[in-house]
Structure 1
Amino acid sequence: MKTPRKGRTALAILAPLFAAAMLFLLPAAQAEEEASEQVEEIVVTGSYIKGTPEDAPLPVTTLTREDLANEGTPTVLDLIKNLSFSQGADGETDQFQAGAGADRATVNIRGLGPSRSLVLVNGRRTTWSPHAIGAQAQLLVDVNVIPSVAIERIEILRDGAAATYGSDAIAGVMNFITRRDFVGFEATANHKMIDDYDGDTEAGLIWGTELADGRGHLVSSFSYIERGELTLSDRDWAILPYADSPTGGWSSVGRPSVVVPLDRWEAFPVGGFVGLLATGIVDPNCERLGGARTTVGIAGNTLGGFCRFQYTAFDNIAEEAERWQWLTEGTWEVNDTTTLSASFLMTDSDVPAWNTSPSYPPNRLVDENRTIRANNPGLVDMASKYPDLYGDMAHCGEAYCRYAGDPTQDAAGIPTAWQDVAWFYGRYYGQDGPLRDHARENDLQRLEVALDGTRGDYDWQLSAVYSQSERLSLGGDTMVYRDARARQGLGGFDCEAQVPNEYDENGNLSFSLETVMAHAGQGPCRYWIPFSNSMAGSHPQVRDGTASNPDFNPALNNRELLEYMVTELGGTGETSLFVLEGVFGGPLPWTLAGGNVSFAAGAHWRHETYESGPFDINNFDLFPCAAGPEIKDCTSNRNGLFGFLPPSTDIDQDRDIYAVFGEMQLPLSETVEGQLSVRYEDYGSATGASVDPKAAIRWQATPSIGLRASVGTTFRGPTLNQTVADDSSNSLQYIAQTGAFKRVDTKGNPDLEPEEATTLNVGLLVDHDGLIARDDNLFVTLDYWSYDFKKPLVTEPYTAVLATACNPGCDPSGPYFNRLTFGGPPSATNLEIIDINIVNGPDIETDGIDFTARYEFGAGPGIATVGLTGTRILGYDIGSWVLGGAYDALGSMNYGTSLARTLVEWKGRVILNYNVGPANIRYNANYVDEYERDTADITVEEQWTHDLHVTYRFLSERLELSASVLNISDEDPPFTGVEMNYDAFTHNPFGRMIKVGLTYTPGGCSS
């Protein structure tokens, strides 16, 4: 992939600065045996004025390196899933709820959406990961980019922060602070063991040294992560029979196909696929090969039905993946008042085989052109085995072939053997496999250079950060014209070279009967066969299938057409972010009862770019027509070459954003401290500008009890992909009226307004020593929070668009009718594609309570801790709008809508910890409340899981060993009845996990 021109300019500016800084440091490098003690000054997340989280008037959760070690050094994803105030985060593989997993993870504070939580590295931004979450069209920041060995602490601001950081901090901020002062060497390794799974392995190294008698500092860290593959079929709760979970990954479009004789089609008056399939013939090997035969709900009808296909048997719970990360940071004291710092971060993620269903269903389920001729070799072979089912349609020289011709086709001069006799309903590859596997690759480079200095009592800082991320996504689909060729016996690369495509006067693919009769099934030309006799057996991952199909005819094997039928397509995406920022602060010449007023003020400019480009084969500008690659101008079927996935075009967008901001710290008295901040940020164009103020106060009522409160406004502008009308992303969504997944195309909107929110937080803090015993401590926080959210950026819910356009009939003059593409007469059952837009959606109001209680006391030779932390959401109300009425999203999975994800009322954990000398033992009991699957009468049960972590330090604390058992009782995730039968946003699909790890620091270290 190419580097954007603006990106190259930014790198050209920053790279020499970084190189010069590193070269300046290295010649003076001197190994240090011990690290000198330094007093660390901290700028707390949520403010530009130095302080500590404990004294801040804002609700900041801090997780130190020791906290993480006592939890068995969890991955960032595991950490996020255990945070009570984060719900609906991405991370686990799930192609259906969001599609962001496999190699990326997000934080979702308050469940407001992953792109509404700002992610920072040492207080500064990094770029988005290209390619949006399909269902919500949101670009996201991947939180997996920092080597875990380099993390000193994580600060999470649970409050809106646009007044400080600008756009994207609607819900809050997650700030990764690195070990930039580390001295020494440290190596870490851990491995997580899971049944039926190779497990997860992580190794990390960090090295740091002081330079020139402490004048400089250099730290470099590296991490490598390897993840194994775990298939959905490895879990008995995930792949269930149709009767137990009819929406658990079952499609009505199966393999082998259902065949509808043309005379029955014409005689049966019911339209749509339900009426047609009521007259069809379900392949006799449907259930033997792992399908589910179901009838069609038409009273008095005993024919036909579906051969259902369970596509999730080919999907994974965890994808094979590897990721490496490298971070190097350096500082140099230029003089007594100025420090130069630089850092460079690289990360690369590779998913070599993202597994999915063998093929998509055809977009047009009811297609009068999807016919079978009387002499089709598959039909003739099935007639020889099942003459009662197929004999009346087959034509051959044997007695079991009883087809004698159709008067209409006879009159047209079509020979009996070449007459159409049936229509079929099914997909190209199914229970027999093979599964499709497509790669995902993602990389990030981030370069930061900063100057920090003092001038008298004042601090100043200038910084420049450039980050760039690239992503490659591959997929596969069937070309429409190759499907048409193979059905007529003209399939195969060599056949296509020998028998070129033929077109009618309107540019539609149309072979003459003479061409078909001369070449179908002859020489290099092959038939694609819709019957079970083309299937050797079921794929091993198919439940209740068979490895050997007794009716298989090797001469009819469709595998020889696989590469011809299913073609790889895909595209690349790239984002970049260049940020320049200056901050100046210190005391003001004003004194209040508590002391001097201090301030911080600054200016900010950032340049964002977003590029995406398809491969040539799925580029609409190159191949706009389904009829074939030779056709460039067509009036119909302008959907590209592929039958299911849409084509794309090249997108190249950029913008500049300007901001100025200021903040004052007001010591109103010795016990009361206030904070005022405001930020003006200008997006230009239609998005416009926003002014966001915030006020916060903290009152230390007694030495042990404090009160805090904050109120402010916050906002988020649309990401660049959301503003491009020509940019169409797609997702696959289950449409109940069709019994199949259908394509949902999401288009950008240049007229979007920024979303806005007013946030409120009121909290109580207790930090009391000597409550019962002299050496005990009670720590309690209780915070009430609320968000009043206006004009949220959302995608129109596809279910609401369909319900509005077809209520109950699909009226061409009705609203949203032009958003639907049909494969027959306008009806919901004939639906092919739904077009939805990114819009400003309905108002959202949510509020709740965060609570933490921790009691620490001496117990024998050690220290015991009992803790409780959790969140209770009190309400999550979504207002009425043009696409639906008001509703309460709390306690619901919110399945099938883009307005919210899973939202449980209660989420939390109980913690028991005991530390004695070099040993630490921790027990966690994790709780997730029950909630409703709102589109079905299913209650997703509440769940308790239990974890145990043990760490022990040897060799004068140079060697630390850890062991963890996660989900001790091996609980399965609660049943949801969706595709994967569990909620990937909320629950653990792995069962019991055992994790072992070690950390080695020869000679000791300092950080």
Structure 2
Amino acid sequence: MMSNNHPKLLSLFCIMAMTTTAYAEVQEQTSIETITVTGSRIKRSVQSESSSPISSTELSDLADIGANDVRDLIEVLPFNAGSQNNSDNLTQNFTVGTSNVNLRGLGVSSTLVLLNGIRQVTSAVVTDQGASFVDTASLVPALAIKRVEILKDGASAIYGSDAVAGVVNFITRDDLEGAEVQYEYRTRWSEGSQDETKIDFAYGGYVGDSAHMLFAVSFLERSSLLLDEVDWVKPATSSFGNPGSFVIPSLADENNPNGLTVADPNCEANGGSVSQSSNDNSFCLFDFAPQITAVPNEDRLQAYARALWDWSDTTRMWAEFGYARNKISREVSPSFPVLNAPSVLVSHPDNPYEEDVFFRGRPYGVGKPTEINYYDHTTSRFAFGVDGEISDGIYWQASFVAAANDALVNPRDVITDNFQAALHGFGGNKCNGTTASEAGVGECYYFNPFDPQDPNNELLRDFIIGDYIGDAESEMRVFEAVITGDSLFEVAGGDVGYAIGIQYRDESITNVYDSFTQQDSFAFLIGNQNFTGERDVKAVFAEVLMPITENLEIGAAVRYEDYGDFGGDTTNPKFSFLWLASDTLSLRGTFSTSFRAPSVHQLQGVQTNFANITDPEDGSTTFGGNRTIGDPDLVPETSEALNLGLTYSYDEYAFDIDYWDFSFEDVLTRESHQAVVNANPNDPTRVIRTSAGTISIVNTKFVNAEAIDTSGIDINASTIYQSDFGDFSPQLTATYLLRYDLMDASGQTTDGLGQLNLNTVGNPSPRLRGSIGLNWSNGIHRANVFIRHVASYNNDVSDESIDAFNTLDVQYSVNMGQVLKGDSETKLTLGVINVTDEAPPYVAVAGSYDPRTGDPRGRRAYAKLQISF
């Protein structure tokens, strides 16, 4: 820590307090509080400049950008790329309703999320790629947030695993006195309908002279948006439809050894479209794009309470409790495809082929009502801690947190055996028939795949469609203790600050499924197996900050973590410098090695989800099951991170620029199901086919197989102009990618820069993301304008260009004083997001847009009323 006998350094710190990479907290001119800022464990008297690149967003900034929740903040961060925050039926099998952070596009598992500097439990469900993440939708109500600090370089030496790409630290309010109520309504101002209502309440105050409490609660009700309601969606077809297709064994040839596939003769008359393949197969296609849910129905409740009190003159205690529950439903296709190609006997009364055939399709398709899938995410958290001062300049702190996330998933799918029974004439919940003579007799019914309008088909819906039910739980317990001081010894520039600490973490996951799901009873989602996994992690860490001269500070940190039998152990250092070159200019730099240990799920879990698969045997593309098994022999992925930055601050002008470089090895990922099929499409252990020859399941595993090298530049600039018409504050923030190289398991390197990276370990990587904003304030009036830009990039699958995405946001607010209540303050805010109603750029994937980059919500208008009293 820099001692207070260096006025030049302290003065420059204060001058730079307004820069976007800085944060300072001074209670009074005569009483300076020692604080800990994200990126360091060492308490400092003033920290308005850091050797690490830090972005700080205040509560007022969230209001200025029109953020309705944390997801809205994440979306506009230029250094965030590839977060899975849009509901996508095809790439979010079980994580719908969650949100996450993906700094630098290095993966949702590579950013550590903290609340008041303490770890959070990971979501019980993982992404389709098997990545674990903290659900930012389950943290705290927006009114409880004081600021969000984002550390944009590797920080494993400080915080441990998962801080590979950086850290996002949500810091709650400790200065609220009184109550705030906020009501917001926003609606889609475009074709289609989608709206949401949000009510927030926060209360804070001092209890006596020694304690402060904060309580906040938030409720969000959000309605859905289907792509059927927008005008930019293009057809997304499946070769498994209804009307369907049929495999005719008697027409087998050398190109089609299991039989020729032919489209239903009434395909087009009943609303389908016919596609012909190169080997004479024809398919009746079903367009499922209109049933894709772009925004799901959500009912979200968040509650948070925190209390701090001074136990003595030198000791402070705190405790906090958090709870969040999000109930989600989304519409999907009328029924999922049936991947096992069930048989239709020659005895079926409507079979026109005079032989046994196989059905390739789904029981309900064109013109039928959509199915509804349900999800329920619940997070609870309790934490407490003690901070104290051992002696002058030496502090200690200890904390404990216990948290759990429970996810109940309930999609609905075709029960394989029941659908087969119905095709054979034994459909119906009251059917007890077992012999051929009883087929289609009494309460036993035939399902008719040759006529979508047959009344028996709808009668059998409850028999054919069943509930896939899974209950996943993730638990975490963390104990941590740290001692920090500002005078380990003295050097030429002043006293050396230090911190030393220990941490113990216990993590576990449990997945339990109903008996049908455990038996792989479903025709599309297949099923899943019960599993449980756990591990504990022990860590020790240390950090020093050394003022070499009055203007030069260097730092070093090191952390050792032991994962026991799962993940081994690892040691990682970090080095930094901060040079105050002049009263207006400072330079900074960091170099670190980082690591990300395999998650408990990647080590011990099982995951089955559907995937788009192209069959090299006949060239057809459809969906199939992808089952991935955890591997206890996985090792941590490792990385090296370099950051060099400059801050210039003069009067009201502030400018920051950072060059960053990340190099990843042994990247943890799931094997590509398509690569497995391409390598050997008839591998009986890895590519499971039906009796009709179609692919039903591809078996993959988690591997340490790939590498990522990426670098870029961050720019932030701001100033303020004062005039008779008010204060004008322009700002610029942008990230420009210089490199995004991806190496696959075979050692082949591809250039992922400016690419969609759909089938790689990478994420979408537009070269430039950024925004230009202007804030105007004049007395009780305030207005904001933001122009946001995402550069064009390329679809590396279809080799088509994806257009740039430019949006305009506007907002006006007025402080209405005590209009609604005496001794209060009332503020009205009106705004429009995406004023010009820009559609997300077209991408040749199902849904017509990239859900990791584009925003399907269109133009949205909102009104917000806030009362403080």
TM-score, normalized by length of structure 2?
0.92
Cα-to-partner distance string for 1:70-109 (whole Å, 9 max, x where unaligned): 2224421111110000000111101223446531000100
Q: Which residue of 2 aligns with 1:729?
A: 608
Match of 1:206 among 197, 202, 207: 202
Cα-to-partner distance string for 1:324-367 (whole Å, 9 max, x where unaligned): 1110111111111111110000111101x2221222222234x6
Change (3 A) 1:976 1:40: farther
Instruction: Say yes or no: does 1:145 pair with 2:142.
Output: no
Letter matched to residue 276 of structure 1 = L
Letter matched to residue 953 of structure 1 = N
Instruction: Say yes or no: does 1:523 pair with 2:442.
Output: yes
CA offset at residue 466 of structure 1? Answer: 0.7
Count of residues in Structure 1 that have an aligned counterpart in Structure 2: 830
CA distance in 2, matches of 1:559, 1:731: 25
Percent identical: 30
CA offset at residue 589 of structure 1? Answer: 4.4
Q: Which residue of 2 aligns with 1:14?
A: none
Q: Which residue of 1 aligns with 2:589?
A: 709
CA offset at residue 39 of structure 1? Answer: 6.2
Q: Which residue of 2 aligns with 1:649?
A: 529
Contact kept? 1:91, 1:101, Cα under 8 Å: no
Q: Which residue of 1 aligns with 2:771?
A: 909
Instruction: Say yes or no: does 1:276 pair with 2:260.
Output: yes
Match of 2:694 among 830, 845, 848: 830
CA distance in 2, matches of 1:888, 1:136: 24
CA distance in 2, matches of 1:880, 1:134: 19
Cα-to-partner distance string for 1:399-433 (whole Å, 9 max, x where unaligned): xxxxxxxxxxxxxxxxxxxx636544322111132
CA distance in 1, matches of 2:317, 2:92: 42
Instruction: Say yes or no: does 1:363 pair with 2:332.
Output: no
Q: Which residue of 2 aligns with 1:226?
A: 221
Instruction: Say yes or no: does 1:373 pair with 2:309.
Output: no
Match of 1:43 among 36, 49, 53: 36
Cα-to-partner distance string for 1:786-812 (whole Å, 9 max, x where unaligned): 111111111111222222224xxx4x5
CA distance in 2, matches of 1:712, 1:925: 35
Cα-to-partner distance string for 1:855-914 (whole Å, 9 max, x where unaligned): 2221324211222110011111112433x62111111111133x0121111111111221
Once the two structures are overlaid, the 10-residue window that deviates more, 910-919 or 322-331, is 910-919
> Equivalences for 1:76-115 in 2 at 5 Å?
76-99=70-93, 102-115=96-109
Match of 2:400 among 464, 480, 491: 464
CA offset at residue 150 of structure 1? Answer: 0.4
Q: Which residue of 2 aligns with 1:594?
A: 493
CA offset at residue 686 of structure 1? Answer: 4.2
Q: Which residue of 2 aligns with 1:160?
A: 154
CA distance in 2, matches of 1:261, 1:733: 24
Contact kept? 2:479, 2:504, Cα under 8 Å: yes
Name the SS for the 1:313 alignment partner: helix
Contact kept? 2:248, 2:260, Cα under 8 Å: no
Contact kept? 2:639, 2:664, Cα under 8 Å: yes
Contact kept? 1:192, 1:200, Cα under 8 Å: yes
Q: CA RMSD in A?
A: 2.1
Letter matched to residue 428 of structure 2 = G
Letter matched to residue 217 of structure 2 = F
Name the SS for the 1:842 alignment partner: strand
Instruction: Say yes or no: does 1:56 pair with 2:33.
Output: no
Once the two structures are overlaid, the 10-residue window that deviates more, 194-203 or 164-173, is 194-203
Q: Which residue of 2 aligns with 1:449?
A: 384
CA distance in 2, matches of 1:270, 1:734: 19
Cα-to-partner distance string for 1:216-258 (whole Å, 9 max, x where unaligned): 11111100111111111001212x24xxxxxxx2101111123
By percentage of residues, which structure has more strand? 2
Contact kept? 2:562, 2:570, Cα under 8 Å: yes
Instruction: Say yes or no: does 1:984 pair with 2:859.
Output: no
Q: Which residue of 2 aligns with 1:878?
A: 742
Q: Which residue of 2 aligns with 1:354?
A: 330
CA offset at residue 211 of structure 1? Answer: 1.0
CA distance in 1, matches of 2:814, 2:228: 38
Contact kept? 2:708, 2:762, Cα under 8 Å: no
Cα-to-partner distance string for 1:963-984 (whole Å, 9 max, x where unaligned): 1111111111110010110011
Q: Which residue of 2 aligns with 1:245?
A: none
Change (3 A) 1:424 1:104: closer
Contact kept? 2:272, 2:286, Cα under 8 Å: yes
Letter matched to residue 705 of structure 1 = L
Contact kept? 1:116, 1:171, Cα under 8 Å: yes
Change (3 A) 1:197 1:101: farther
Q: Which residue of 1 aligns with 2:476?
A: 577
Cα-to-partner distance string for 1:655-683 (whole Å, 9 max, x where unaligned): 11111111111111111112211111111
CA distance in 1, matches of 2:270, 2:147: 53
Instruction: Say yes or no: does 1:890 pair with 2:753.
Output: yes
CA offset at residue 818 of structure 1? Answer: 3.4
Instruction: Say yes or no: does 1:215 pair with 2:231.
Output: no
Contact kept? 2:735, 2:768, Cα under 8 Å: yes
Q: Which residue of 2 aligns with 1:695?
A: 575
Match of 1:839 among 703, 712, 729: 703
TM-score, normalized by length of structure 1?
0.80
CA distance in 1, matches of 2:125, 2:356: 45
CA offset at residue 493 of structure 1? Answer: 1.1
Q: Which residue of 2 aligns with 1:3?
A: none
Cα-to-partner distance string for 1:366-425 (whole Å, 9 max, x where unaligned): x6xx13425x3434xxxxxxxxxx5xx5xxxxxxxxxxxxxxxxxxxxxxxxx6365443
Name the SS for the 1:455 alignment partner: strand
Name the SS for the 1:133 alignment partner: coil
Change (3 A) 1:202 1:441: same
Q: Which residue of 2 aligns with 1:251?
A: 238
Q: Which residue of 2 aligns with 1:134?
A: 128
Q: Which residue of 2 aligns with 1:966?
A: 833
Contact kept? 1:53, 1:60, Cα under 8 Å: no
CA distance in 2, matches of 1:878, 1:745: 24
Q: Which residue of 2 aligns with 1:170?
A: 164
Structure 2 gap segments, 5+ residues each: 1-26, 819-823
Q: Which residue of 2 aligns with 1:926?
A: 788
Name the SS for the 1:188 alignment partner: strand
Match of 2:673 among 798, 801, 806: 798
CA distance in 1, matches of 2:36, 2:610: 42
Instruction: Say yes or no: does 1:343 pair with 2:320.
Output: yes
CA distance in 1, matches of 2:127, 2:359: 35
Change (3 A) 1:50 1:951: farther
> Equivalences for 1:376-525 in 2 at 5 Å?
376-379=348-351, 390=352, 393=353, 420=355, 422-457=357-392, 458-495=394-431, 498-500=432-434, 515-516=435-436, 518-525=437-444
Change (3 A) 1:877 1:39: same
Name the SS for the 2:676 alignment partner: helix
Letter matched to residue 833 of structure 2 = L
Cα-to-partner distance string for 1:498-545 (whole Å, 9 max, x where unaligned): 225xxxxxxxxxxxxxx21x211110000000123x42xxxxxxxxxx
Instruction: Say yes or no: does 1:668 pair with 2:548.
Output: yes
Change (3 A) 1:800 1:65: same
Name the SS for the 1:563 alignment partner: helix
CA offset at residue 732 of structure 1? Answer: 2.8
Change (3 A) 1:950 1:68: same
Q: Which residue of 1 aligns with 2:12?
A: none
CA distance in 2, matches of 1:932, 1:425: 34
Structure 1 gap segments, 5+ residues each: 1-34, 242-248, 380-389, 394-418, 501-514, 536-552, 621-639, 770-776, 1003-1007
Change (3 A) 1:877 1:98: farther
Change (3 A) 1:980 1:483: same
Change (3 A) 1:460 1:920: same
CA distance in 2, matches of 1:165, 1:106: 19
Contact kept? 1:72, 1:963, Cα under 8 Å: no
Instruction: Say yes or no: does 1:937 pair with 2:799.
Output: yes
Cα-to-partner distance string for 1:140-165 (whole Å, 9 max, x where unaligned): 44344210010000000001111110
Q: Which residue of 2 aligns with 1:864?
A: 728
Contact kept? 2:111, 2:168, Cα under 8 Å: yes
Q: Which residue of 1 aligns with 2:7?
A: none
Name the SS for the 2:850 alignment partner: coil
By percentage of residues, which structure has more helix? 1
Contact kept? 2:263, 2:283, Cα under 8 Å: no
Q: Which residue of 2 aligns with 1:617?
A: 516
